[in-house]
Structure 1
Amino acid sequence: MAIKRPKVAIGFIVAGVLMVLFGTIMCFVVPLVIDDQIVKHTVIDPKNDLTYTMWKDIPVPFFMSVYFFNVLNPAEILKGEKPMVEQRGPYVYRKQCQKENITFHPNGTVSYREYRQYHFEPSMSAGNESDVVTIPNMLVLGASVMMENLPYVLRLMMSATFKTFKEGPFLTKPVGELMWGYDSGLVDFLNKYLPGMIPTSGKFGLFSEFNNSNTGLFTVFTGKDDIRKVHRVDSWNGLTELPYWRTAQSNMINGTAGQMWPPFMTKESTLPFYSPDACRSMELVYQRPGEMYGIPLYRYVAPKTLFANGTDYAPNEGFCPCRQSGLLNVSSCRHSDCIPIVYPQLSSFSCLQPILTFYQSHMSGNLYIFVVYLQQTGVPLNVSIRLQLNLYMKKVSGITETGKISDVVMPMIWFEENGYIDGPIVNTFRTNLVVLPTLLEYLQYILIGLGLATIIVAAVVYHKVKVKLPHRIQASMLSCLTARCILLLWFFFSSLH
């Protein structure tokens, strides 16, 4: 039976129009569908298996590497000679964080406490926790500098107290005790007769208050009613603002708990977060774009003004009494009227928080922070902090423990804490946020291109019918077009696979 050639051509024209129309619709619909899926899976909801598990029990390995500056000539330092130190370490600890007491509320918020633990990793360390090192005694040398302007009699009494409890200017102890605490008669005495002077009720150590502890009761928005509010802190320990600082702005609880942020942020966005360890809100700022495992990312860093004093950066005036820029005095929130605490701090993904609280007044440090952030979902994929802490020491008359120490900034330790997502989680992100959107984007343009080509060829064939082009030639042209469409589609999907 003879083929009705004009109808065949018209049929191909219609098919081409449909392909162009479908491809055009995809240009508008696909981004909306992808964004809708991101919103759906970003909400804090137990039904979202992957994101909820990441939020509740962080599956990413985080490690803290600690390096000690071992003092080689403590006796000579007391005579006024220049300190000599050697670096010891790293002593590496694996950090684990887990949310417990999770409670969802009718107003679209969820409450929880997050617990953290540190486990020594011998295979990754250049030593053992039993290694003995010598560092300055913060209780003695820090308190001495703070008391240099007090009456001479009080300084003599303090020196006598040090001698009574056998506290010298330097500590020589195993790494494990310096890290996680050692028994101190002086600490017990202060806690008994001067409660609140130092923020520790048991053993005294650099990290003793942070292992097997929690960061307080957080209540954050789930994002169910407004995805722009997901992870944002609603209250902390029942507080919607802090009582510690001098201005309302400084006392604000802003941003998230420092682990995840809302999706769809831009380069103009910042990453605000509240850190209970630093007793304040902070924010990171955009630095540059990047890529990790084929996933486009944004890199955020701490601004230079983060710990600037009120003189160098007026908005920080509320955090005063200020010290030199780069330091934060958190004695007002650590219930210490006598010993100011200097606390450089970052809170970020996987409850990444520097866990050093220093109880002396003259502490300085060099801080380096960055967060590599997946802007589409609000999930940081790579986080790192590096911090060196130094103690200011000097001779204080009346306190014989300080000897003839020359004014010197003494390096004590430096550490870095980092973690990144890899393995199946990264593959899931790459598939859902890179591969599939790219595939759909290519497909929509291929449909538009093939549709236009079909329309053009079919129109030519239809026109040739009027000049009585042989049927075989028409059929050959249409068959060739169809074959090319099929071949292009096959080649496209094969290359993706």
Structure 2
Amino acid sequence: MSVYFFNVLNPQEVLIGGKPMVEQKGPFVYRKRIQKDNITFHDNGTVSYREYRTFYFEPTMSSGNESEVVTIPNMLVLGAAGMMENLPYAVRLMISATFKTFKEGPFLTKTVGELMWGYDSGLVDFLNTWLPGMLPTKGKFGLFAEFNNSNTGLFTIFTGKDDIRKIHQVDSWNGLTELNYWKTPQCNMINGTAGQMWAPFMTRESTLPFYSPDACRSMELVYQRDGKMQGIPLFRYVAPKTLFANGTDYAPNAGFCPCRQSGLLNVSSCRHNSPVFISHPHFYNADPVLLDFVQGLNPTEEEHGLFIDIHPLTGVPLNVSIRLQLNLFMKTVSGITETGKIADVVMPMIWFQESGYLDGPVLSTFHTNLVVLPAVMEFMQYGFIALGVATIIIASLLHHKFKRNEGKDGFTADENPNTSTGEKDPLLRDHQ
């Protein structure tokens, strides 16, 4: 997993209504170890499991180390300000006083390690004591603190034993067959697989539906083009522009609202009502107006588009790159002086890329069994057909030649006038 931070260069200007200027810092690379546990097979052709994940920093693959310092918006302050906007003015004043007591400002300058995995905060301790359940963590507060050494929930998926077309499809998640985060039944549906493989024998009309607990919804990728990886044929699937479109531009997404510009997914309903939005990195495939509010972004498909390369015969991913960006909606909230005169802006904080690909002995075995051997078998198939046709032709020619020679040189006993049977010549007999 590669993580990129948007380091804010002008926090003081932002507080007086200026346009934020950011510079991208990273990647900070982590190796993600995934292990399934509590595996239980059921009689209805399903299996349940929990998938645990642990992250390990890879300094040799990173552009810097976890001690590097960056400045980003303070989610505890600016996020809470957005959540408390409609509370009475006196309550907002008290909240602002609380921020001052614990010396929490609108922007944080911390090390990468602290921002990722947590830092000590008196405000966090206070909130967990007096408002339990308000924050996702009970210890240190960090952007990825709740993801490390955790699991993605209890998945129950189909094994495909009875119907290969249902392999890996999600039957339920945490005992639920549908979600309750969103406003419409369609948006609350748990569709597709768990995102690790799909049914075999795919065509270019096939799609890749999967459920993502981190995004709190099901998503679907579409075919883009054919390709090859180490000689192995593949289909590339990408996110359609409608994936994060708002309800105005794409009506089926109305259930994910309240929406802002297209290209943003409002995940506040599953993130403790904090004004958090998910998008593609650098607002790729989003409404261009989002780029006008922040300086320092440059979206490209090559660097910021997500994709999954699938071997169509087996439905197994060969190369995967899932790229998402975490954004915080910031605005001025009267009574909470920490927000200053911040102009309304969807502020990018970090983006991350989870990537993986087949390599080594696994890739060699895959290539041998699913590319080389089928090619050899196909060649042998046509070779045997050609050999069979050639054998039939040669046998027919020999048979025809043998018959012709027999007709020229061979006489049977009935046809021989000198036979000793005493039979008369047929001409003489006919004359008689």
Common fold: TM-score over 0.5:
yes
SS at 1:161's partner residue? helix
Q: Paired residue for 2:370?
A: 433
The Cα RMSD (Å) is 2.7
SS at 1:383's partner residue? strand
Q: How does 1:127-146 map to 2 (within 5 A)?
A: 127-146=64-83
Q: Paired residue for 1:102?
A: 39
Q: How does 1:6-25 map to 2 (within 5 A)?
A: none
Task: Tell me if 1:320 matches 2:257.
Answer: yes
Letter in 2 for 1:445: Y
Task: Tell me if 1:417 matches 2:354.
Answer: yes
Normalised by the length of structure 1, the TM-score is: 0.72
Give a deviation string over 1:125-184, Cα, whole Å, max 9, x none: 121111222222122223334545554333322211110111012111111000111122
By how many angstroms is 1:467 displaced? 6.1
Give a deviation string over 1:334-357, Cα, whole Å, max 9, x none: 4x3x534434599xxxxxxxxxxx
Match of 1:123 among 43, 60, 64: 60
Q: Paired residue for 1:492?
A: none
Task: Tell me if 1:301 matches 2:238.
Answer: yes
By how many angstroms is 1:277 displaced? 2.0
Task: Tell me if 1:339 matches 2:300.
Answer: no
Task: Tell me if 1:202 matches 2:107.
Answer: no
Letter in 1 for 2:227: G
Letter in 2 for 1:197: M
Mapped to 1, the partners of 2:279 and 2:250 lie a distance apart of: 17
Letter in 2 for 1:188: D
Give a deviation string over 1:338-384, Cα, whole Å, max 9, x none: 534434599xxxxxxxxxxxxxxx99x97621100112111111111
SS at 2:270's partner residue? coil
Task: Tell me if 1:190 matches 2:127.
Answer: yes
Q: Paired residue for 1:218?
A: 155
Q: Paired residue for 1:258?
A: 195
Q: Paired residue for 1:240?
A: 177
- Residues 242/89 of structure 1: CA separation in 2 closer, same or farther (3 Å cut): closer
- Residues 444/95 of structure 1: CA separation in 2 closer, same or farther (3 Å cut): same
By how many angstroms is 1:393 displaced? 3.7
Unaligned runs of 5+ in 2: 282-292, 407-432
- Residues 88/242 of structure 1: CA separation in 2 closer, same or farther (3 Å cut): closer
Cα pair 2:238 2:308 within 8 Å, conserved: yes
Letter in 2 for 1:425: V
Mapped to 1, the partners of 2:327 and 2:276 lie a distance apart of: 13
Unaligned runs of 5+ in 1: 1-63, 347-361, 470-497
By how many angstroms is 1:87 displaced? 3.0
Give a deviation string over 1:421-455, Cα, whole Å, max 9, x none: 11111122222211111111111211222232233
Give a deviation string over 1:57-83, Cα, whole Å, max 9, x none: xxxxxxx11222323343444355554
Normalised by the length of structure 2, the TM-score is: 0.82
By how many angstroms is 1:269 displaced? 1.5
Give a deviation string over 1:277-312, Cα, whole Å, max 9, x none: 222222111111111111111111112111222222
What is the aligned length? 388
Task: Tell me if 1:287 matches 2:245.
Answer: no
By how many angstroms is 1:273 displaced? 1.3
Q: Paired residue for 2:106?
A: 169
Match of 2:29 among 88, 92, 97: 92
Mapped to 2, the partners of 1:314 and 1:76 lie a distance apart of: 38
Mapped to 2, the partners of 1:151 and 1:438 lie a distance apart of: 72
SS at 1:228's partner residue? helix
SS at 1:139's partner residue? helix
- Residues 84/107 of structure 1: CA separation in 2 closer, same or farther (3 Å cut): closer
Cα pair 2:96 2:336 within 8 Å, conserved: yes
Cα pair 1:272 1:283 within 8 Å, conserved: yes
Mapped to 1, the partners of 2:269 and 2:86 lie a distance apart of: 21
Mapped to 2, the partners of 1:87 and 1:319 lie a distance apart of: 29
SS at 2:267's partner residue? coil
Mapped to 1, the partners of 2:328 and 2:178 lie a distance apart of: 32
Cα pair 2:222 2:240 within 8 Å, conserved: yes
Mapped to 1, the partners of 2:257 and 2:22 lie a distance apart of: 33
Q: How does 1:58-97 map to 2 (within 5 A)?
A: 64-97=1-34
Give a deviation string over 1:390-440, Cα, whole Å, max 9, x none: 444444443322334455554432332211111111122222211111111
Q: Could you tell which deviates more after superposition, 451-460 or 261-270?
A: 451-460
Q: Paired residue for 1:47?
A: none
Pick the structure with more helix per residue.
1
Cα pair 1:278 1:345 within 8 Å, conserved: no
Match of 1:453 among 390, 399, 409: 390
Cα pair 2:36 2:50 within 8 Å, conserved: yes
By how many angstroms is 1:218 displaced? 0.8
By how many angstroms is 1:109 displaced? 1.2
Task: Tell me if 1:267 matches 2:207.
Answer: no
- Residues 344/208 of structure 1: CA separation in 2 closer, same or farther (3 Å cut): farther
Q: Paired residue for 2:416?
A: none
